[in-house]
A and B are shown apart, each in its own frame.
Chain A
């Protein structure tokens, strides 16, 4: 792994954290396209690696929010446990989709997020 590659990864991580802290937009929105565009990741690898990074990010953020007493555990389970079923479906479906379709869906999601940010 070259220095250049480390620098890009460090920049992606910092940008993802910075933007999620600033705008409340999740890290994946920043991580996935930058892995694809800067590091030449294939789409499936970018989304898989992004999810693994999000585990770390969300765990740290949830712990610090928990310290402020903002986390409602029961509601998080009520919405989060069904989501585990959803993510199993989503990852299985994703393996059948071509990379291009994932990029197109992601671009659409970015446009939707941008509109939401402006209208907020």
Chain B
């Protein structure tokens, strides 16, 4: 019980820091500490993410960091894409796909690193003038 609470706090902090849902910690936490099966843990994690992301987005909106229309567009299309992804996952072999996606993530990580090391530390530079014009 105390373990679940601690994992929850850590997942929430990660979510707020990096803008992710926190499922990367929720799912193993629910499997190891609550004894759920993997598919139950993934489903349960999704429900836990909703209020966490909602509160995080609300706080970020107060700081002026949410482009609402962009978020809605990305969110709605993601929901549609996820349905296709689940269907594909059942049709394709997993291993090669996961390795290919992992390679893609490493390439993205390198891009992020290069950009981060190029930009000034205060990070106030805005590369795309219309990034804020969407609300």
Contact = CB atoms under 8 A, between A and B. Distances in A.
Given A18-B84, A21-B89, A79-B48, A54 B53 contact: yes
Contacts of A107: 109-110, 112-113, 116
With a 10 A CB-CB cut-off, give which of B8, B72, B86, B119 has the most chain A CB atoms. B8
B84 A91 contact: no
A48 B60 contact: yes
B131 A40 contact: yes
Given A13-B78, A27-B78, A85-B12, A52 B85 contact: no
B30 to A, nearest CB: 6
Nearest to B88: A22
Contact of A17 (B52, B78, B121): B78
B102 A114 contact: yes
A70 B40 contact: yes
Contact of B122 (A88, A89, A98): A98
Contacts of A24: 23, 27, 42
Given A40-B131, A99-B123, A106 B18 contact: yes
A13 B116 contact: no
Interface string B112-135: 110111010111111110111110
B20 A32 contact: yes
Nearest to B33: A79
A65 B52 contact: no
Contact of A82 (B12, B50, B103, B112): B12
Given A26-B21, A98-B121, A110-B108, A71 B46 contact: yes
Nearest to B104: A114
B11 A86 contact: yes
A15 B108 CA distance: 14
A70 B38 CA distance: 10
Contacts of B14: 86, 90, 109
Given A52-B61, A86-B9, A21 B82 contact: yes
A87 B59 contact: yes
A73 B89 CA distance: 26
